[in-house]
Structure formats: structure tokens, C-alpha cells
Structure 1
């Protein structure tokens, strides 16, 4: 779900309506409910009795106030939204995941740089190998973490939860000629450096779509391919350089990348 509100960088001033949460109208003050059972569990001051080895009594009204903190969603952290809430990208899973990125090699390599941190191995099929030469070694210090291959794989690579596999297709404005086989913990990232009609099919078929700022014609094609509302077409054209949009994993998300110093050192500032 998106709105037509302007995209505002996190950290701006703001207030929330409403006061402190109150207790239900029929709930009395204090930890006890006035019953004999409550008085038995409480000390002379009305407070919960001292902890005893082996058991701990808590008043029923106190239990009603206990809450569980919601855990962060699982996945590779792609960035943070305007409320500074982490936005994950569910890039790897027991079942294959297909992601389409509309953007440049810089954005693709940023995703891969972060995937390296969770143990990923990467195979790149590209028409421009010089753009990828040496990237894996610089990022990881190892030669085996990123491999440039000459053609589309004819069988899935073996991946595990500890060492997932990502096959990247960087073929310009189209995806692979055929849908490559994918196994467990083996995902596909298709990079469309520019969106034109030949690339809309791979955008439609992807479970997840990630986009840098788009031109007007690209935004129109993307909105039609992903069945996005009119506000999305406008927001996709107004994002800042260090922003991405994520579609297909719940609500539509617009996020700030929050590059680390190491990422800036190895990859430079955001660009497409």
C-alpha cells in the first residue's frame, strides 16, 4: 500500500496523537484484584510477594499487562523506511526465489555485498564481464565466492541455509532466454539496466521486484507490469539516489539504503 505523501528522510520531527495507554475501566489500581487469592499472593504492602526458589506468583491483572516484543522480520536487511524500521529482502529460502532489479550494476553489487555477509555464493551470467571482474575478491578476499560463467546454467547449483546460492543475470534489458532450474536455497537475481517492453515479462514473473529511481516511461511500464496504483508511478520517479523500492513482499516499501562506511569505501556513492 502506498500513499501520495512526499518521501521524507528519517530523522525529521513529528508527534503522535493520543496519550498514555490506560487500563480497562473495570480494572482496579494496584496488582491485586481484592480477592482472597490475590491477598494470599501479595505481601502486607499490597505488592507481589518476594521471589521464592522454584516458583513466582504474579497477580492476574499483572499478567494482562505482559506483552511480547515482535521480532524483526527475517531476511537480508535492504534498508530502513521513513520510521527507521528495517526493511528485509527475503532473498533466500528453502524454495527458489526470483528477484528482478531495475537498476544498475552498483545496486546489484550492493545487494550481493550484503548477501556475502550471510554466506552466499554468487554466479554471474553477464554480457559485460569487465563490470564484475574482481568484485568478489575485493568484497570477500576470496576467489571462490563470485564466479563469472559463460552461459546460462543447465542445472541448479547446490545451496544450503548456511551457504545459499545466487545466480545473477546481467544481460542488459532482458532476462535469461529460458527459466533456469533452481533448487533449494538457490535464488535468481535478474538485473534490468533499463526497463523496456522486452523486460516486462521477467518483471511480471518475479516474486520480488526491486527498483532504483525510474524515468517516466520506465515507471509507466513498471506500474503496468506489477499492477501498481498511480501514486507508485510518481514515487518511483521521485526517489533519491540512496533509495530503493521493494514490491511483492507484503506492502510496497520505499526505503533508504543507509550505506555503511565499508560499503562506501568498496563501492562508492549510490548511482545507477
Structure 2
């Protein structure tokens, strides 16, 4: 009998660029008829030759050395086997998935849908003060997360492993379809991220202030202000296009 399976992906890169992945990590989350969604034993990582030197700034984050990736396969040689493994995959997932989607193109994924655990966290745990992968880890302390398997941070497999625990809890609280729907929209920020109104919930702002935010450069801010105005029946919903996520919540 087939089961549902979502593969969480995390990438480390060599720095700014378009084809510079230097590590990919993965962790599967599967549906078990007895226990619901669980973090499976299927996980791993693969170093990737980025085709150019890793920048010192980036090396200082993940500590991957040029000599470690010199003999590794190139991204185009390894990506499909990880993104489209043997057996059914219902979706891919990542924390702030737009980053991974820059490299994991539909051609490589076979057009699989994506879940963004960051966008879903904004919806499901709006009371939390911050929403980075590691902050969610320590704010929430997900059950069953083995501390050592989630280390070191900013390496692909440990980060995917941590993200998978957020995803597991999200899937056990709502449907896969709902997470996919939220992931296809901009992020619904629970609070204003910057400026003089920073930290205020949107329902505390005047209609005039909300209208000003409709012209913000950040799509998540625009979408959040628009959602609050719509809630007040001041504005009809419209489609908002989505660039790369920029907010720091």
C-alpha cells in the first residue's frame, strides 16, 4: 500500500551565484496509519562541487572547504537522484523554500509542489516572536528531535532534520493541501517587521497606515496589510506576485 511522503531539502552554497550549491541534505517525513506523520530514518547529505571557490564569508557559516568538494559531483549530476528518488514523493519542503527553489528547478524536480515551513509557521504559530529554523527549534522544542542529529547548524542534513520536525507537527495539525496552499501565497506576517510600527500586530494599525503598507517593496508586508484590510472589508482580495522572501522574521 502506498503512503504519503514529503522530502525536506536544505542547501548550502558557495556564495552569491546561480549554480553554486556545495551541499544538499534531505530528510523524509512520511504518513504512518498508526502514528500519523513521522520523521523517517531516510536522511542524508551529499557534497557538491560548486564549480568555483567557496567565498570566505560563506565558508565561515557552514565551514565547508574547497578541498572537501573538489572531487564531489556537480549539481546537475546529483540533483535529480535526490530530488526525485525511487518511490513516490508527494511534495518537497524547505524552510524559506524560495531559496531552494532557485536551484531545485521544475526540470530537476519533475514539477513537484513545495511546502514552505516558514510560511506555514507564520500561520500556525503566530504568537512566537521569531520564525527562523533554529529559533523555532528552541522555542518549540519538537518532540523526538535528537539534539546531536540536528548539529552542526548550517549544514544541510542537520538543518533538513530540524525542518522536518516542524513539518511533521504542521502536517499532524492540518492537511497537506492546506500547507501547499499557504506555501503558494506570500508570507502572512503576524506583526509589522520594520519601521516605527515594528512589532505591532496588523489589527492595531489604522486603515490609513495599512494602505501605506500596500506600497511596501516587500511582498509579504503588502500581503499582510492587504489581508488585514480585507478582513475589515476595506479591500477586495487580489493576487499578489511573489519575489524572493526578504523579511527577517
TM-score (normalised: structure 2): 0.26
Structure with greater proportional helix content: 2
Determine which structure has more spread, i.e. the larger CA radius of gyration: 1
TM-score (normalised: structure 1): 0.25
